Structure 1
């Protein structure tokens, strides 16, 4: 059942049981005041004992400060843009996929999901997460510590708008994540500083990656000192990376500084089994915009060749010789 009602109010039943419902999606729905307990009942095992996939997207529930989900059969949970939810508690022993994005009022998360394999988690940076009754506030890292079976991981790094640059990923004590095979890192930069050290510290803990994606979003004003500012940090060189399992990598909207290009080369040199590489540059921040300049800046990868995909977007692709 997929209900997308464009903000229309939905009155939920108080006693009905949906014994066969396995996939439920509520999208753009307003639930009347005083019905939060009915929503909690509906998504629980008591009402939907065989529910395996639940999506709650852009819903509004008056006085829904806490969502307690007890669902023994649930395998996938997606919570997106639930602005009134402050506390989320999951008692989901079978859960394998968890996506929580855009829930910016969330201040507390309690998780019991020992089989979690895929995680996308984008909320406030300061959040209390409880998985074993501990009181920790290193929210994202504490969640990773308790989800060691994760295979697919997306990390979104937002640089703080401060005079002194702080690399958020680099400052984390990242646990080993031996089962991660797909890693996507999205970096939003508000000033021209190198992000490489933080990304390298994350890569060092993921030794089974097969797919790697690094995506940049630059929000600062371009200056003539851009290259000098980015070239000062080369701390990533101290990391020992084991990337022998990487088969496909993509690097989107690179700035094109020397430090950045050396870092990409550093990664690919350690990816001995690479089969495909995609690279694109950001025209707004890189002065060298010709196809020839793009080819000169591309990293050297043995056993294959580079081709131009789209010169307008300065995008290139490397594939291994057959």
Structure 2
């Protein structure tokens, strides 16, 4: 194990963490991992994280699910880390029978969804044709054990589709400990393509497809990370766009919004380029159990 970043600041609590990296597999580990993570999430973390891009984000994710799982209706979908449930609601409109898991399930349950707090609680309900993890694998205490449980919960022909921040991408390398998508200590692990593929293989899964962009994630990764380097208070631009409270002064909020808007526009060409190079800010994969994977 080597230290990649000795000092990474949690923008919410201002506590200091480090990011260590396995020299064999490249998997990043947040150190220390708090015993109780709930104080690091708070009441405002789960809802409205996509702001005005939520509908666009859900539509794109449903297209990826259709490409990975096919377009038949009436099948079962589990979304692990479903947040406020917006993706599950969109999937249900497309004909999926949906369930979810979430550390704080209140918002999704209030939307009329069946949501459990832990993966173990939902598994006895039966097999799933598709299981999604949209930026949730990095939050799990034991992602390998979680993937093994989920692989066992797939119906014949079922598929897992998951997205993580790409810790080996250009953004991560460029911005280092200021990278917006490090999000310590909520992100307990940090994946690149190699480390993610190795973990999926250890869980009995075979990667079928890769995608390398979630557009709003990647643009925000550039804009907010640059602002985190330039401004004294982190994540002010993101907080304002998503309607979350911010510690920034009125002047800093106004300046962050102006600069962030300009940086978002300027980020579009490099985001396109890093996507083409398969080194973007986001890594998405679809994977099936090894025995069922096509040769």
Q: Would you say same fold, with TM above 0.5? A: no
Of structures 1 and 2, the larger Rg is shown by: 1
Which structure carries more relative contact order (alpha carbon 8 Å, separation 6+)?
A: 2
TM-score, structure 2 normalization: 0.29
Where is the helix percentage greater, Structure 1 or Structure 2? 2
Where is the strand percentage greater, Structure 1 or Structure 2? 1
TM-score, structure 1 normalization: 0.27
